[in-house]
Amino acid sequence: MNDILDTLNFMKPTYVVKTDKNVCRIQASTCSIDTDLKIICFYDKGSVQAMFRVDDVKTFYKII
């Protein structure tokens, strides 16, 4: 007997990052900001999906 939860596919959050030149959409489970190195990293299952310099990012937000 199949449980309904076995067939569900959960969506990953999407982050939207706006720079001077581009708008990027990144699917990632977590985001971290290294204030010493001034880098924003987006991760999924421990793997880096994207990396931006803080100085290049105008805004970013998470869409659930």
Report pLDDT digits (tens) over 40-61. 999 998 899 999 999 999 998 8
Residue pLDDT, tens place only, 7-43 = 777 778 899 999 989 999 999 999 999 999 999 999 9
pTM, two decimals, is 0.77
Domain ranges within the chain, ordered by starting residue: 11-63
- pLDDT(5) > 80: no
* pLDDT reported for residue 14: 93
Amino acid at 26: I
Token pair listed for 61: 């937000």
Q: Round to the nearest angstrom and report the end-to-end CA distance of the chain.
A: 31
Q: Where are the beta strands (DSSP E) in 1-64?
A: 14-19, 23-27, 30-34, 39-44, 47-53, 57-63
* pLDDT reported for residue 2: 61
Q: For the chain, what is the largest distance between any 2 Cα atoms, rounded to a whole number of angstroms?
A: 53
11-63 CATH pick, 2.40.50, 3.30.1240, 3.40.50, 2.30.30: 2.30.30
Residue 58 CA to residue 20 CA, distance in Å, equals: 7
